[in-house]
């Protein structure tokens, strides 16, 4: 497995790749959900490259950025065992030589759901994903359906800018107790981790969005939103302390 730490190394790798290339962009702190994307890429393409970059422009909360888990050594071991051919490890200067003077901004869907409560989040996401897709030039790129709004926005961006890449959505991977796998789960206290499966359980119940939000509130979750659209129910809750909240998101088929 090659470790690519510069644009020159990435470009050299890309020119040398034989066959199709799959791409899995991540922010590290890898879990089985990330690895499911890698396995999907391994099945669908001849080579898989993964990026690990904690993108500061998509964090509207400085504490969230500061507390984002860093498990790079373990991540690299997992990726090598999974058969990844290369890992790209850029820094801020590589990603933003313009210091974020130029950005990709979607005007409608990005202002709903998570975007309504995290101003600027999806501008940061779309900007860094476009940069990475332009640099890696994959045939296919793989994203998880846990971040369903992100997936749809990336699909829309690729279509709007005529980008020559196929965006593949992969199913949510859950813990045995139903909690959607997320790097941020590492930041849950032991008590909050025990309570967290209630989020998915309640979100999956029948009833209108208002009743589900009330159920979550009664169960001790700080509800960000519960919204049903296009046949899916989306939810976001906060756990932890006010100073260091942990934000969980999920989505389920509407009942």
21 near 139, Cβ under 8 Å? Answer: yes
Tens of each residue's pLDDT in the chain, 255 residues: 999 999 999 999 999 999 999 999 999 999 999 999 999 999 999 999 999 999 999 998 888 899 999 999 999 999 999 999 999 999 999 999 999 999 999 999 999 999 998 999 999 999 999 999 999 999 999 999 999 999 999 999 999 999 999 999 999 999 999 999 999 999 999 999 999 999 999 999 999 999 999 999 999 999 999 999 999 999 999 998 888 899 999 999 998
Q: Which residues are catalytic?
A: 34
CA Rg, the chain, in Å?
18
Q: What secondary structure letter does DSSP report for 104?
A: -
Torsion-angle region of residue 132: left (phi > 0), alpha (psi -120 to 50) or beta? alpha
Q: 14 by DSSP, 3-state: which?
A: helix
The structure tokens listed for 79 are 């990726």
Q: Which helix (H) or strand (E) holds 124?
A: helix 121-136
Question: Nearest to residue 42, comparing CAs of 79, 91, 5?
Answer: 79
Residue with tokens 């990475």: 132
Among positive and negative, which fits the CA dihedral 120, 122, 126, 129?
Answer: positive
Backbone angles phi, psi at 33, to 5 degrees: -65, -45
| pTM as predicted | 0.96
Residue-range domains of the chain with CATH: 2-170 (3.40.50.620), 183-249 (3.30.1300.10)
The structure tokens listed for 212 are 């589900």
Please give the distance of CA 234 from its chain centroid, rounded to a whole number.
15
């Amino acid at each position: 497995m090659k470790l690519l730490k510069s644009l020159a190394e990435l470009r050299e790798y890309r020119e040398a790749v034989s066959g199709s290339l799959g791409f899995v962009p991540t922010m590290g702190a890898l879990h089985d959900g990330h690895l499911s994307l890698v396995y999907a890429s391994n099945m669908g393409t001849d080579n898989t490259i993964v990026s690990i970059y904690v993108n500061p422009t998509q964090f509207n909360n400085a504490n969230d950025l500061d507390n984002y888990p860093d498990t790079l050594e373990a991540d690299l071991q997992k990726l090598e065992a999974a058969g990844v051919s290369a890992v790209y490890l850029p820094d801020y200067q590589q990603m933003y030589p313009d210091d974020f003077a130029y950005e990709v901004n979607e005007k409608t869907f990005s202002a709903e759901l998570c975007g309504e409560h995290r101003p600027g989040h999806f501008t940061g996401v779309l900007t860094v994903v476009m940069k990475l897709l332009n640099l890696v030039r994959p045939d296919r790129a793989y994203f998880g359906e846990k971040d369903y709004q992100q997936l749809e926005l990336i699909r829309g961006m690729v279509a709007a800018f005529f980008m020559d890449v196929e965006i593949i959505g992969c199913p949510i991977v859950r813990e045995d107790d139903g909690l959607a796998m997320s790097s941020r789960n590492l930041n849950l206290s032991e008590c909050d981790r025990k309570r967290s499966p209630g989020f998915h359980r309640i979100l999956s119940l029948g009833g209108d969005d208002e009743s589900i939000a009330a159920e979550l509130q009664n169960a001790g979750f700080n509800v960000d939103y519960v919204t049903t659209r296009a046949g899916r129910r989306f939810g976001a809750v906060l756990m932890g302390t006010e100073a260091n909240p942990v934000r969980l998101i999920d989505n389920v088929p509407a009942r």
